[in-house]
Structure 1
């Protein structure tokens, strides 16, 4: 009985705690974890040797500064693991010899200092330069520079995504005067669709985007599709042009052009956060892709179509979150305008019928839908919208209907569907996956349609993951899982990140089998940002069998979460 009474009392106590937390208005006195340290004291245990600061790094050389629209691009030469860039009252740390300063006032000169930063936070003497951002007034038949506080203008743009895993918004902080695409949708492209048709001219036509995408481990897709399509799937649709730019985890970029494209020259390594101007150029003899004015891929393909839908896709290569800044999208083509637009209705697929209310002044409408069949079957050729059956046709003639492949289709809306809610049913007995829907309603010309929003992925710098590796006494890597003799070994710790800015590194702690054996501070003149350190360990007193080293890196910013890396190793008997 005592045992039962104890359990009941314990349950009552737990319930009491839960009620207390739910009703105290957020002023709980329960203990919380202390914030991570932002300054570390050096510590070394017996049988451990750690490196120490040496001479200061060399001053960055060959600085080149170029002013652009609300931005300045900087490049320099140097061999340091990181650099500190100062302008006005702002400072940022970068890990490559180049960066871009955003959110600047046009025609206002900026004085800039660049210092090399070694792995212990030692600074070089500064390299100084000046530059002035300049307004971009180049002529286009259609252009959006995304300068307004609430972007994008829904009269001009639509964002296609499978779920609420992505946003197109005005940027925050230094990105406040550019469009930011933020996504946690993984490897599936999030697509920005222009409502303004791309209409070829008789001579040369250009589709232009200035963006810092693709970031490290990302992909940028530029499509011109001869039909009312909102998504970018595989394979590329008949008659369409696609440029794919991919950047791997070390910054190497490749460009692919479909159809029949060949690379014209190697692509330089990407500088994180640096805007690049990409163009699809259509001529009478073929298609080109240019990067900052240089041709990087060509194709003999000359499209037969006169008008196309322009799509810009952003994706991760390995499921990471992405944040891409867009400074400009424009056409140099024959003149065209976005069709008049009215608010977009909600679409419900094969669900309970919802109430509908007419939208006034609608003159026409179109349902755009993407389908994936589960097995070999006849294409779906009809759809029921608000109870009225209408034909469904491929958005691009000749698109194959096959299992697992996305099939974009369109249906003209009956007047009964000019409402705030659309109830849509596929007229088929087959099992079909619907991956996307959107609706185009046209009506009288209206002013720009904007709505406030914030990016899903913020711009706050983070620490890179520390990467520990075991080396033998000669400095050669020990193969994973390979057992080695007890004695002197080397632990190499690397911290590096290909981001537009990184958080300051206060240092790192090392634990062996859970025991604290060393702390290495990295703030001699200020925080480091990246580097490589080699720590000597004597494993003679350890037992045979498996062991593990944990390295935990801390930032000088208490709001930045520490990052941890692990490496196991095996000692012979």
Structure 2
């Protein structure tokens, strides 16, 4: 089976995953009817179930953020609970209305994005015990959800290319993705002593619990243990980083419904943030000329304390302990926000420079230049001022998020020999081979909770139609794997163009054309 037809309260949803979330249900008993579907739209006998929606009881937690609004992530005004680290212009946060009300929506707009939320309250273990709970759909298909516990105040840690070798001393990462649950420390990756596969829906909220005990670490999904490890932290308090990564190469959206911690240490200071662009977004050598670009003095007026925080992706030969901040005619030391941050190329390291109080006043409207200097190379991911003692009252408006609309399944193609062997992108022009077409609904469902069904598709070779396949024998389908045998003896060897045109069930909507390049050899 490649999909499911779900019906309730006069509504119908077509999905490709066996876990579905129904939003906006009234507080009464509902009957839900489910039919499985094959790639050609044939339906099974329905299965019926009745139930009443309820919010599951949660463990007693000292600290929770249920994201009823976006106030907790607006750091430009006092009272925020999180620092948000993401590529400006690519990551937008909002609190949607309708069925998603009360959730923090994170939109990844550039196709290769991630966002990291740093909690201002520190996670605290009591006699070696502690629990962090998060309810989110970020670990859905092709996505990744990271929980980092850091004995410092870093905004980001690790490296996408090699997280095992790039964590600071004492840090623990729990990473959840399609490949399972990984538990990583600065000493390497722990092999969990218990691992159980867990099914996650596309666009479906799941509850994750990270539970620390004196004997190790346990990971739960929806109250079922999915991993257990002997990793024991060396700290009693840590900063929590919640990292969410969208599917690569695709605009997407994730939702965060709640984060809670069993015990916390509240921050000693209430801060506001002011985004700051450095003169150049890289580390300058000590003798390099700096452009005359700096920071406005305006947000510092009236401050009692201020610091500049920046996160740098280290390049070859860069020592995070030997970097400085040039602020006008001052040279200030930059200190890693977490002791023991690795001096490894590719690692993300957060650095902090405390600003002297005498720069808060003066006649010059700006302080320039503003650059980071050090040996080696490095790219600046973000930089901002963290200010104590000022109280701006104007909050930035939330950005408008794109309207979500069901999309047709994603089309991929593979060439296979008649025995099923993968041929890559090259096949013989003199022998039959199989063209395997995969209509995958997983990411489409993640985009908009359901999938726009298809009534069929056509296949073209060099703009000549070679096949037409109906997929609506008993109703439209949401995807599947289809194999066609090809004998391209009429084609000349060389580069060829294959294309698949999907036809939506709603004939008022446009068809979707996906093109691939292959080669035929003699």
**Structures share fold, TM-score greater than 0.5:** yes
Is the contact between residue 122 and residue 264 of structure 2 (CA under 8 Å) also seen in structure 1?
A: no
Query: What corresponds to 1:133 in structure 2?
Result: 53
Gaps of 5+ in 2: 160-165, 280-291
Moved more, 418-427 or 127-136: 418-427
| 1:43-62 to 2 correspondences below 5 Å | none
C-alpha distance in 2 between matches for 1:108 and 1:338: 46
Match of 1:21 in 2: none
Within a 5 Å distance, the mapping from 1:351-366 to structure 2 comes to 351-353=292-294, 355-358=296-299, 362-366=303-307
1:258 matched to 2:185: yes
Q: Is 1:348 matched up with 2:271?
A: no
Q: What CA distance in whole angstroms lies between the structure 1 residues aligned with 2:339 and 2:375?
A: 24
Partner Cα distance (2:94, 2:244) in 1: 14
Aligned to 1:368: 309
Q: Which residue of 2 aligns with 1:20?
A: none
Superposition map of 1:274-313 within 5 A:
274-313=204-243
| 1:372-417 CA distance string (max 9 Å, x none) | 4545366435424465554321211222335543332112233356
Matches within 5 A, 1:285-434: 285-316=215-246, 318-334=248-264, 336=266, 339-342=269-272, 344-350=273-279, 351-353=292-294, 355-358=296-299, 362-376=303-317, 379-385=321-327, 389-416=331-358, 424-426=370-372, 428=374, 432-434=378-380
Residues 1:191 and 2:120 are matched in the alignment: no
> Equivalents in 1 of 2:367, 2:129: separation in Å?
41
What corresponds to 1:438 in structure 2?
384
Verify: 1:562 aligned to 2:512, yes or no.
yes
Q: Distance in 2 between matches of 1:347 and 1:221?
A: 27
CA distance in 1, matches of 2:70, 2:8: 24
Question: How has the CA–CA distance of structure 1 residues 134 and 422 changed in structure 2, closer, same or farther, with 3 Å as cutoff?
Answer: farther
CA offset at residue 143 of structure 1? 0.8
Specify the SS of the correspondent of 1:327. strand
Distance 2:215 2:394 in 1: 38
Are 1:225 and 2:161 matched, yes or no? no
Distance 1:359 1:99 in 2: 49
CA distance in structure 2 between the aligned counterparts of 1:332 and 1:402, rounded to whole angstroms = 34
Q: 1:538 to 1:410 in 2, by over 3 A?
A: closer
Shift of the 307–292 alpha-carbon distance from structure 1 to 2, 3 Å rule, reads same
Answer yes or no: is 1:453 the counterpart of 2:399: yes
Corresponding position of 1:550: 499
Largest Rg, 1 or 2: 1
Identify the match of residue 100 of structure 1 among 4, 21, 41.
Answer: 21
| Residues 1:551 and 1:434: Cα distance change in structure 2 (over 3 Å) | closer
CA spacing shift, 1:164–1:517, aligned 2, 3 Å? same
Give the whole-Å Cα distance in 2 for the aligned partners of 1:564 and 1:466: 7
Kept in 1: contact 2:69–2:104 (CA 8 A): no
- Describe the SS at the equivalent of 1:190: strand
2:514 and 2:257 map into 1 onto residues whose CA distance is 35
Q: Go from structure 1 to structure 2 and tell me whether the alpha carbon gap of 1:220 and 1:496 turns closer, same or farther (over 3 Å shift).
A: same
2:463 is the alignment partner of 1:514: yes
Distance 1:338 1:461 in 2: 46
Cα separation, partners in 2 of 1:437 and 1:223, compared to 1, 3 Å: same
Alpha-carbon separation, structure 1, partners of 2:510 and 2:82: 35
Deviation digits for residues 329-372 of structure 1, max 9, x if unmatched?
A: 11012463684344x22313135235432556644333221234
Q: CA RMSD in A?
A: 3.6
Q: 1:417 to 1:91 in 2, by over 3 A?
A: farther
Counterpart of 2:282 in structure 1 is none
Aligned to 2:289: none
Which residue of 1 is the match for residue 437 of structure 2? 493
Distance verdict in 2 for CA 1:392–1:335, change over 3 Å: closer
CA distance in 1, matches of 2:26, 2:401: 24
Unaligned runs of 5+ in 1: 1-79
Change (3 A) 1:146 1:401: same
Distance in 2 between residues matched to 1:421 and 1:157, nearest whole Å: 28
Q: Is the 8 A contact 2:214 2:232 kept in 1?
A: yes
1:242 partnered with 2:186: no
Alpha-carbon distance in structure 1 between the residues aligned to 2:467 and 2:156? 52
Q: Which moved more, 1:425-434 or 1:520-529?
A: 425-434
Say if 2:134 is the partner of 1:209. yes
Q: Distance in 1 between matches of 2:172 and 2:32?
A: 41
1:430/1:334 Cα in 2 relative to 1: closer, same or farther (>3 Å)? closer
Q: Verify the 8 A CA contact 2:118 2:240 in the aligned structure 1.
A: yes
Taking a change above 3 Å as real, the CA distance of residues 192 and 534 of structure 1, as seen in their structure-2 partners, is same
Q: CA deviation at 1:311?
A: 0.5
CA deviation after TM superposition for structure 1 residue 164, in Å: 2.4
Q: Contact between 1:244 and 1:255, CA under 8 Å: does it hold in 2?
A: yes
Instruction: Give the CA deviation at 1:453.
Output: 2.5
Deviations 1:265-298 (CA, angstroms, capped at 9, x unpaired): 1333433223232222222233333333344444
